[in-house]
Every structure is written in C-alpha cells, then in structure tokens.
Chains A and B, each alone.
Chain A
C-alpha cells in the first residue's frame, strides 16, 4: 500500500473580510425577498404583511441563534456542526442534510428567478411563453456558477460585495420614495379588511414567507474563512438581521398599500390593487420587486429599466451562495465522518472543495429538471396536476426550500439549547439576551428563552409546510429518508457507531478552533475556564 504524502493537509483560506462576511449573508438573504414577495402576495393576499411579520420574528430568533453559535464555534459547516456538538452525530447529520437540500434548491430557485427578472426586459425569456429557452438559460447559469466556485472564493466575494452595496442603496431608495409618494395607509387597511385569506392560505403564505429569510447561515458557513470571526460575525449579523427584516416588512406593507403610478386593470377593465396581479400568475410572482419598483411615481420609469437587471444579478449571486454553502457543509460533514471523506478533498491549486461543488451542483440540476418538466413536456402536466395539485416550477422549488429551512432551523435551536447546557465553559463573545440562570451537572448555565420561542415558531412553520405543501411533504421527508439510509450504510462500512456518536475530545477541538481563528484571547479565557472548572470538581471530590 502506498504511504500517504507527508506535509500539511490543504485547508480553506481565511480571505473573507467584515464586508465580505456581510455580503455573503446579504447576497443570500437579501435576494430572498425578490423570490418570496410574489409568492406570499399570491397566497396570503391581504395578510401578506402579517405572514412576513410572523416569519420575520422567527427569523430574528434564528439570526440571534446563528450569531451566537457562529461566533462561539467559528467552523465551516455552521448548523450541522452546532447540532452535532449539541445533540450528537445522527441529529447533526439530519440538520446538515436538510441544509444541503436547501442549498441545492437555492442554486436552482435563484437561478430560475434570476431569469424571471431578466424576462421583464427580454420577453423571449418568459417561462410560460418559451419554457425551453428559459430552461436552457437557467441550466447555463448553474453550470457557470459551479465553475466559478471551483476557481475560488476570493473572486466570488469581491463580486458579491459590489452587487450587495448597489442593491442595499437601490432597495433603500425604492422604499423611501415608495413610502413617501405612493403609499396610502387606507389602501393597506382596505386590502387587509376585505381580502383576509382563509386559515389554509395564511398557513401556506406564512410558510412561503420564511423563504424570504433563509440564508443567514451563509455567514456561519463562511466562518472558517472569515478573519477574526468571533469579533466580526456578531457585528455583521445584527446589521444583516435588521436590514432584511426591514426590507421584507417594508415591501409587503408597501405592496398592499401601493397607489400605482399607472392604473392596473383586470381582464374586464376594472381597476384593481397592485397586489392582485400575483394570484394565479407565475410569471408575475417571479419578478414581484421589479413590478413594484416600476409603479413608484416618476422614479418608476428609471427603476423599470435597472431593477430587473439588479434583481437578476443579486439572485445570481444568491444562487452562487448556494453552490458555496452546499460545498462547505459537505466539506465539514465529511471531516466529522458524517459523509464520506471524498467530500473533503480540496483542489491542490485553487484550495476549494471541488468534489462537493460538482456533486451538489449535479443535484441542483436534477431539481431543475423536475421543476421545469411540466413546462417542457406538456404531457407531464396532467400527471403533476393529479398528484401535486398542479404546482408550478417556482412553487415546487419554494416548497422544498421552506421544508429544508424549517427542519434544519428547528434542530439548530435545539442544538443551541443543548450547547448552553453541555458546554457552558466556551466563551461567548455574543450571547442571546433573556436567559434563565440555573445549575446543570454542577455548572452554572443560562437557558435561552428566545431559543425556546424561536423553536416553537419555526416548528409551527414546519407543520404549516407539511400541512399545505403538496410537494414539500412528499419530497422533503423522502430526501431525509434517503440521506439517513446513506448515512447508516456509510457508518456501517466504516464500522462507526450507527445511532450513537463517536467519542470526541471537544475540549481539544475548541482550543484548536479558536487558535486557528486567531481568537487567542478567547482561547486563553477558555483554558482558564477549564482550569477553574477542573479545580472546582477535584475540590468537590476530595
């Protein structure tokens, strides 16, 4: 047998700066509203702002949880690592596998929506008119992003940063002008009073609203490549959480209370409210923000030209975040024996996880094929209508996206609570507020009340998803089941514990993590906490 080559194993390089960290998060979460707004307006109608408010409150809890965890354990992989460390290997695998579903969907969904926004200026790309052309362009985008990520993260981060800055400025301007010159509170109240959805529609709308908040974990997934993560991540996360919450609430309130610049008429020539153009119109749902921006008085003439382009580019970099995120999670999962070691193979020149990128981009392409099939082959349309309530491609992708997010976030909250109890000695530079002090196994611990509230919120969204999404409730659990089978086969092959966790030295692991992150003060503090705890325990024994 050939001996392994000596020398250090290639690692991910630390090239993500504070702005890069914000941009990675923003490029993923910031683009969500471009997809989510139309879908939520189509289903939650007059209660769209309430659906966004509920999902937004849950999102703030998720954001705070990720901020604390990523600053405390700055490793690539994010959610699955926290869950594995808090709850054990098998739960870590389930959380990671659910996030992998989300990120592969992310690649397809956002590339798809990017083409939808482009179709506002290039009508040849409208999906309902030319489905084959739409499909080929989305396919080309996914393959192109896969290659970009193989080349390396530094180039991608610079690309994200410029577009994120332009988009924050543009969206702020649209909202300022919209609320000053086109918003009428009476129209908002009218929409809410006369178009309140049924409980089923509100549940469906709320579960789709969570789509607008998925992706904050990109920051934590890039943690191993971020400079001084424990200091930078809390700073960028809080700004990101508030920015995204504001954009989602602002767009939904503005859409319901918008007095259109140009009158909008229905098929019989009667004037209708702006939000009423979304139900039963998949083409409009895919480009909601561009349609809204075009209705701002005077500025809309200019916005109609550039917002579709900016939206398309932002969605494209969000798709790029999906390729980045899935490859980093798989890299991290294989390092902890949750996935085969082939996924941690790093390219010798580019130092990127090339196998992971290729594998999960292929899964994204399969999802694209499934979403596009009824449009490409009309004979399949009746099959979809019979078994899946006739959902369109965009809804199919959003269904799975909501399922994956709700599943993984539920486990992350449980992981956070478990880690507060089992690992109180790790220094937490950022801690979620509102905690209950108690003692657990001889140590003083703090139970996070917000994590409990967040868990109840996201778990209810998971139940809404299973109740209302015809495709999500079939394909989501099937994805988890398939993953569990693969996991058990792999663990049996490696002769590792199947349902129990491998023994690990978390103390040594944490010291190593903090040293590699350059957080030497935190490492010293951790060592001091360990020493004090050991001394106290030995004193109690004697």
Chain B
C-alpha cells in the first residue's frame, strides 16, 4: 500500500511539472497563466508532502 501511495505522489509531481511546462510555453500571456502556475506548484507541493509522510512512516516501521 505504501508503494502505491508513493507512486501516486510521484505521478502528482510529474503532472505538476507537465502543467508548469505547458503554461510556461505561453508565458507571454502574462497574468493569464498565473492560476495555471499556482496549480502546477500546488501539485508539486502536495506530491512532496505525501512523499515526506511516506518516508517518515517507513522510518518509523
């Protein structure tokens, strides 16, 4: 179960990076890409948050 959760966290980080990259392609649009950038950053943050919890869990068991 821990491995499945780990894979999901990595997928979340990867998707966050994909969204950031696709938004930066149209960076010339200025303010319009801000919500997309925040979304990508939040996905990466959640992915790392989940990974840190999983690693802490593994250290404890």
Contact = CB atoms under 8 A, between A and B. Distances in A.
Interface of A: 49-50, 52-53, 56, 172, 175-176, 179-180, 183, 185-186, 188-189, 192-193, 235, 238-239, 242-243, 245-246, 249-250, 252-253
Given A172-B8, A179-B18, A246-B39, A53 B34 contact: yes
Contacts of A239: 46, 49-50, 53
Given A52-B35, A250-B39, A185 B25 contact: yes
Interface residues of B, number: 25
Q: Which of B19, B25, B26, B35 has the most CB of A within 10 A?
A: B35
Contacts of B25: 185
B45 interface: yes
Contacts of B46: 239, 242-243, 246
A209 to B, nearest CB: 12
B2 interface: no
B interface majority secondary structure: helix
Contacts of B12: 172
Contacts of B34: 50, 53
A53 B32 CA distance: 12
B40 to A, nearest CB: 9
Given A239-B46, A246-B43, A253-B36, A183 B22 contact: yes
A182 to B, nearest CB: 12
B10 interface: no
Interface of B: 8, 11-12, 15, 18-19, 22-23, 25-26, 29, 32-36, 38-39, 42-43, 45-46, 49-50, 53
A33 B9 CA distance: 22
28 contacts: A50-B34, A50-B35, A53-B38, A56-B38, A172-B11, A175-B15, A179-B15, A179-B18, A179-B22, A180-B15, A185-B23, A185-B26, A185-B33, A185-B36, A186-B26, A188-B32, A189-B26, A189-B29, A189-B33, A193-B32, A238-B49, A239-B50, A242-B45, A242-B46, A242-B49, A249-B38, A253-B36, A253-B39
Contacts of B36: 49, 185, 188, 253
A154 to B, nearest CB: 23
Q: Which of B8, B19, B36, B49 has the most CB of A within 10 A?
A: B36
Contacts of B19: 179
Nearest to B45: A242
B53 A246 contact: no
A252 B36 CA distance: 10
Nearest to B16: A246
Nearest to B14: A176
B53 A249 contact: no
Nearest to B50: A239
Contacts of A250: 39, 43
Contact of B39 (A189, A235, A249): A249
Contact of A53 (B11, B15, B35, B43): B35
